[in-house]
Structure 1
């Protein structure tokens, strides 16, 4: 019996090849798109789950509000780890990581720049699952100047992995003994380092203060410990330890500190939540965003629903063509259950074929999707283990769901009505079909509006006045390797043709190089007159090179020795300090963690606020000090013959450091990298929106074809009676266009709500413009009209003799 159902189904599908092709193509594209999104979502939610103890690993976060500035850190104080380990019985062990920054590593006569370097406590292998190939995990990071490297790094420098006992030379004078080699860290990790240096190398002097947070601290809880209860125990511990140092520096207890509207907070983030839920200062990598997981998951479901809706629409629309078949079958004694099984068999057969094609399509387009999404997804043997049964189940479920209504609808025809020709046909009267068309285009319009809003925000970001000029600035990296020769290098570069100016500092608006410190308006360090700004070391050419505007006062000058005790602040800092006339006002800066050494600085200038972090965040206070910092050289060029200028700068570099790799970037590219996630989301949204529209149009095309077919004789009579082609086209399209108008009315407020929520993630954003809805609506109407008009014009131009000759 089952074999007969599928035999009959194949015959029926072959008889209606156009209908079958449209259904299979629509379902295939929908399933393939859904499959690609599933791969993306699985990859994103799978971060850090390779760690065997992932459910017990927590990262400790620190939060502070002081002087009107609110900051959230993924970093904590140096002594915290030891305190947690000794004072909390529910803690199994703790671990600290501290980013080292870029160094150059010697390989023969060549120095290679390496940026993925971190200091680590010995407990690294007790907390994270990092399989060690060579060496002893228990002792690998105990001794000072010991290092653990990854397998690929060992091969890069020694062409083998058996390198325990060999020496790595960092920055020409730091010798590190290799004590372990680990397998490469999986891509799905919130940090990816190639070098782990022993924390003991830093020395004990950096492990005492509670008012400085430079360490990423992890806690491994004992089995069965509820991290939420552990979380609740952190604030009193933190208050107890910070209280002593707070009284020493600003002469206040934590209670007094909080009464002034300030606070310290501490909590933990589960390891598996870091990638999607954490966006704090001091993250060890570029994290994702759970919002985009929700968005893409919704898109996948919507596209799949659109594909299923197409099937239901086309099946019910062509019901009149099969009405007589159902009537004859019932007259001959076929029970309704057999008819239902027959139509469900057709539906399942279509979805099964579509599923096979979808898997092939997903596999074929996966490299392109990886390129757009910046992923390394692949269909492997491991993924096939779950993919095959899931896709079979999906075929059955979608086949049954998509074919459920058509099967019951078609099988319910009464033989007497069918054979007498009383069955209602045509597009009119199909309330369910009308609802489904509205549903399809509502989703499509929501996606169109969402894509337009995303691109409008990206365009706003690209064109917004940031308070500095990022164009035509070349950044020479790692100039710290030059040491005292960095200033000589800067002066030589400034003399080159094509160079307008240059500044030597790593504190750039597009860099991750950051430093905060409390500053006060009086020597008693009164917290009520204190702020917590960014504290940047710059030179006298910084403002000119970046074209940062001085709104009052003046720039630094090397001709004035007093400028070593001068400070330039931004407008936000002035506002938070409540200064109406900030020039020549003093600022006091604690020069050590205990507040014993305090230095006085005078404000000599105020600069216009400039953006130095993402536009998701409000501008925070910045203070600029005339101090040496050699981490990078930013060169403003005139934009003429850039390759020749880069070559000339590299030549100067090689004359000073012949074995050091010359690395550079452009500031505008570094700025764009900050919003790379949004750019990827924009591209992916365009692709998925286009696919959703294409699938919806496939269904609309099929419906238009069947609507025209069912009204063939009516069209013939109208033409014989003198109806114009335009009148007939309007008659055939107006019913569909009405549904698109209804879809616009339904989808517009829904799209506004969700995109308004997305825009709230940006402190600086565009407003939701009315023209976006109008453009999306007009686009949907045009797309629908072009889809329908092909069939409408074809039917209107047909010879009426052919449709009326059998009457």
Structure 2
């Protein structure tokens, strides 16, 4: 019986090839979108779940609001781990991780360049699932100056030789470490990645007892039945107990007094939330994570794509009812019951869904490399062959069969046989109303996505063209000139003499991309105010960066030692309470030697030294050049300067290659997630409008067939082609117009929510709505017009002589 349904269904599909192709293409695009987004979402949600204790691990984080400074940091104080393990019964284990920067390796006199090194407690491998493949699998880090290295690094340095017991040197730290084990490379879906994990037993910072300085990423393992909220509720009392006494010594204020006007504390973040639910400062994160908002957006868009394709199927099937009415009537007269007819039409839907799935897999395979590049993923085609995804695809085929074929099956099988044989079905009335509602739904999605895409692109354009308070164009940053050691000054002087160079500053502090950062506690008249960030610069920094000095003077060698003089931005002047009269004022900075007096000699105009997601914060420029250089080129083509840079760099025989970046590119990279979102939204907006218009094309085709004789009569009576096109188009264009009334308010609300993530953002202007409406309406009218014009130009004699 089933084979008969499928055979008959296939014959009907072949008979109506045009409708079938519209359905197949639409469904295939919808299914391909779902497959792509399903694998993307699965990859994003899988982060850190490879750890056997993933559901029991939580990271301790620090949040505070101190005199207007919002602090969200993923690092906490060194003693926190042991304290929480001792004081909270629900904590079974605690471990720490500290990231080390600019690590350079050497073995047997051979230099191996930079490597990612982290300091971890000896129990780190008991908390995280990082398999040891060679060496000590029990306690590889239970002694000072021991390290576990990754499989890839082991091969790069030691080749096929056994690395266990060998000694490698970290030259920048002037320390030697013994390799005790080799671990598998840390999985891609981890929130941290290191080549070397060194024991904290030999790390000085790990022995600190202060609760006033944050250095460590700290992880707790909770009991299996522990409630994370209940554990977190115990943290304020612990913070008060241990931080309180030290706070009096550090800032001269008790914990209770401090908390009256400020707020600070420790909180817990589940391990599996770190990748998608983090809002911590870039300086305190291990790696840039994802964003749960984009997971929601892309998932919803993919589902809508599939729903639109299913709507096409339903609309075309019910609209073609008049063509199949006699078939239904004859089947019923010959004894077919309603149940059999439903199975027959569902069989046709199943065949369409099955063939569309095959085409969707082909589309997926072709588009996967481009999607991987766009999304920054490494999804492989064979991932789709995993049992869970195969079952999902099978389930999707049956779901589409029910969604797309269910309503047409019940609708067509419900025909009265007498009416069916007389073909008394015009597709009007209740079912016409349902079809109209579905068309409106399709274009609500399409118009909404088009508006969302335009808003994203406008915001990205605003970011590109905003006055940042500095000139990011034609700036070249060299990050590692300190490696030249005694030759650094000579190298800088050679670059200054290059005729292509307009200006040069000796500083590694840049407002975009890879940069140094330094923060310190600020005091006024001996009383703690808040923390502020410092840029260590030289006298050429402000002119090289194109910044505006509003008052006072710049640093100058003519004034001798300027180590105690600073230039502050407007926000810092405001936070310090100096306002425009800041010149000559003094405040203090907390240092290891005590409070250091700093004298304000200048005020610069605020510039965006953080992402445009953030408000401009107070910033202090201090005379202390080091780290790298920033070059202002006279031309946009910097290839000549880069060539000279490389030549001069190599002449000093450094151990590493020149490490440089173009600041404009670094700035753009800051908003890579938003740019990718804009591109993906554009792609889906195009696909949804294509799929919606495919359905619209099919409906216009059926409308023209139903009104075939009417069109002929109108032409004989003198109607022009444009009048007939208008006749066939007006109802559909009206539906598209109605969709705007729903799509635009909804999209406005959602995109306003998205824009709230930016401290600096556009207003959604009226012309964006007009442009979205024009694109949607124009595409829809073009689709309708092509078929309507063809129908309007048919020979009326053909339609009038058909009985």
Q: For 1:1-400, what aligned pairs fall within 5 Å after superposition?
A: 1-106=1-106, 111-160=111-160, 162-171=162-171, 173-203=174-204, 207-259=208-260, 261-281=261-281, 282-380=284-382, 383-400=385-402
Asked if structure 1 preserves the Cα contact closer than 8 Å seen for 2:112 and 2:157, the reply is no
Q: 1:466 aligns with which of 456, 465, 468?
A: 468
Q: Deviations over 1:606-646 (max 9, x none)?
A: 1111112211111111112112432x221112126522321
- Is the CA contact (8 Å cut-off) linking 1:474 and 1:635 kept in structure 2? yes
* 2:477–2:630 contact (8 Å) kept in structure 1: yes
What is the rounded CA distance, in whole Å, between the counterparts of 1:404 and 1:304 in structure 2?
15
Structure 1 pair 109/796, CA: closer, same or farther in 2 (3 Å)? farther
Aligned to 2:708: 712
| Cα distance in 2 for residues equivalent to 1:695 and 1:498 | 53
Match of 1:495 among 487, 494, 497: 497
| Residue in 1 that maps onto 2:698 | 702
Aligned residue in 1 for 2:604: 607
- Worse overlay, 735-744 or 206-215: 206-215
The answer to whether the 8 A contact 2:85-2:92 is kept is: yes
- For 1:652 and 1:100, locate their aligned partners in 2 and report how far apart those are by CA, in whole Å: 29
Instruction: Give the corresponding residue for 2:685.
Output: 689
| Aligned partner of residue 102 in structure 1, secondary structure | strand
Match for residue 564 of structure 2? Answer: 565
Distance 1:694 1:536 in 2: 51
Contact 1:97 1:216 in 2 (8 A): yes
Q: For structure 1, which segment, 491-500 or 729-738, has the greater mean C-alpha deviation from structure 2 after superposition?
A: 491-500
- Aligned residue for 2:698, secondary structure, equals helix
Q: Distance in 2 between matches of 1:152 and 1:190?
A: 19
Of stretches 262-271 and 634-643 in structure 1, the one that deviates more from structure 2 is 634-643
- Counterparts of 1:230 and 1:804, CA distance in 2: 82
Is the 2:484–2:654 Cα contact (8 Å) retained in structure 1? Answer: no
- Choose which of 501, 520, 523 in structure 2 pairs with 1:520: 523
SS of match in other structure, 2:562? helix
Residue 426 (structure 1) shift: 6.2
Aligned equivalents of 1:641, 1:74: Cα separation in 2: 40
- Cα offsets for 1:121-148 (capped at 9, x unmatched): 2222011111111121443223333222
Aligned position for 1:480: 482
**Stretch moving more, 191-200 or 160-169:** 160-169
Q: Confirm or deny: 8 A CA contact 2:57 2:221 kept in the other structure.
A: yes
| 1:108 positional shift | 7.1
| Cα deviations by residue, 1:283-330 (Å, 9 ceiling, x for unpaired) | 100111000011011101111100100000000010000011112222
Q: Is the 8 A contact 2:426 2:706 kept in 1?
A: no
Classify the secondary structure of the residue corresponding to 1:141. coil
Is 2:760 the partner of 1:764?
A: yes
Structure 2: which 5+ residue stretches go unaligned?
Answer: none
Cα distance change of structure 1 residues 470 and 160 upon mapping to structure 2, 3 Å threshold: farther
Check the 8 A contact 2:583/2:600 in 1, yes or no.
yes
- Looking at structure 2, the residues matched to 183 and 638 of structure 1 have their Cα atoms a distance apart, in angstroms, of 48
Name the structure 2 match of 1:633: 629
Partners of 1:737 and 1:374 in 2: CA distance: 40
Q: Describe the shift of the 1:455–1:4 C-alpha distance in structure 2 as closer, same or farther (beyond 3 A).
A: same
- 1:242 and 1:504 mapped to 2: Cα distance? 39
Aligned with 2:734 (options 718, 734, 738): 738
State the match for 1:644 in structure 2. Answer: 640
SS of the counterpart of 1:139?
Answer: coil
Q: Residues 392-444 of structure 1: CA distance to partner in whole angstroms, max 9, x if unpaired?
A: 12111210121111111111111222333433346997111100000000000
Distance across 2 between alignment mates of 1:115 and 1:505: 23
Q: CA deviation at 1:157?
A: 1.9
Alignment correspondent of 1:656? 652
Shift, 1:536, TM fit? 2.5
CA deviation after TM superposition for structure 1 residue 176, in Å = 2.5
Deviation at 1:177, TM superposition (A): 2.1
* SS, match of residue 334 in structure 1: coil
Task: Decide which moves more: 474-483 or 57-66.
Answer: 474-483
Q: Which moved more, 1:122-131 or 1:63-72?
A: 63-72
Q: Distance in 2 between matches of 1:179 and 1:502?
A: 46
Residue of 742, 749, 756 corresponding to 2:745: 749
The alpha carbon displacement at 1:34 in A equals 1.0
SS at match of 2:519: coil
SS in 2 for 1:564: coil
**Relative to 1, partners in 2 of residues 1:174 and 1:655: Cα closer, same or farther, differing over 3 Å?**
farther
Distance in 1 between residues matched to 2:94 and 2:378, nearest whole Å: 32
Structure 1 CA distance for aligned equivalents of residues 667 and 576 of structure 2:
30
Alpha-carbon distance between aligned partners in 2 of 1:332 and 1:648, rounded to the nearest angstrom: 89
More displaced stretch, 426-435 vs 7-16: 426-435
Q: Is 1:113–1:661's contact at 8 Å kept on the other side of the alignment?
A: no
Corresponding residue SS for 1:692: helix
Describe the shift of the 1:487–1:768 C-alpha distance in structure 2 as closer, same or farther (beyond 3 A): same
Residues 1:274 and 1:306: Cα distance change in structure 2 (over 3 Å): same
Q: Which position in structure 1 is the counterpart of 2:425?
A: 423
Question: 3-state DSSP class of the match of 1:193?
Answer: coil
Cα distance in 1, alignment partners of residues 206 and 305 from structure 2:
59
1:642-663: CA deviation from partner (whole Å, max 9, x where unpaired): 2232122222222334332221
RMSD: 1.9
Moved more, 581-590 or 557-566: 557-566
Secondary structure, counterpart of 1:101 in structure 2: strand
Match of 1:786 in 2: 782
Q: Does the CA contact (< 8 Å) of 2:567 and 2:602 recur in 1?
A: yes
**Number of aligned residue pairs:** 798
Alpha-carbon shift at residue 540 of structure 1 (Å): 2.0
Please say if residues 151 and 161 of structure 1, whose CA atoms lie closer than 8 Å, have aligned partners that are also in contact: no
- Over 3 Å counting, the alpha-carbon distance change for 1:496 and 1:459 in structure 2 is same
SS in 1 for 2:275: helix
Cα distance between partner residues in 2 of 1:142 and 1:473: 47
Note the C-alpha offset of 1:219.
1.3
Secondary structure of the residue that 1:489 maps to in structure 2?
A: helix
State whether residues 102 and 478 of structure 1, in contact with CA within 8 Å, keep that contact through their aligned partners in structure 2: no
Deviation at 1:728, TM superposition (A): 0.6
Mark the CA change 1:408 to 1:760 in structure 2 (over 3 Å): closer, same or farther: same
Are the counterparts in 1 of residues 504 and 629 from structure 2 also a CA contact under 8 Å?
yes
Unaligned 5+ runs, structure 1:
none
Secondary structure of 2:93 counterpart? strand
d(CA) in 2 for partners of 1:396 and 1:432?
23
- 1:429-448 pair list within 5 angstroms: 430-448=432-450
What are the superposed Cα offsets for residues 577-607 of structure 1, whole Å, 9 maximum, x if unpaired? Answer: 2213111100111212xxx721111111111
Report if the CA contact (8 A) 1:279-1:287 is conserved: no
Counterpart CA distance in 2 for 1:55 and 1:133 is: 25
